[in-house]
Amino acid sequence: RSGRCPVNLRWVIFHQKESLEENGAIIRFGKRRWLVDEDRFINWLRENGSSFSTPSRKIN
């Protein structure tokens, strides 16, 4: 493991929150914080990573 998240974690939580919670990959901790179960999150990415699109960057 490289120690770096393979995706923008904030973006994924914002757009896929319900699915991540259902799979136990994240749980709410306080008002604005999330706890992430790394193994479940990586498994969720493997199963669902191709079913959602990431925002494209504008190239100037």
Compute and round to an integer the Cα radius of gyration of the chain. 12
pLDDT at 27: 95
pLDDT digits (tens, 9 = 90+) for 14-36: 999 999 999 999 999 999 899 99
Mean pLDDT score of the chain? 83
Percent of all residues in the chain with a pLDDT value above 90, rounded to a whole number: 43
The domain locations on the chain are 9-51
pTM (global) more than 0.75: no
Quick one: tokens of 49?
A: 């990573």
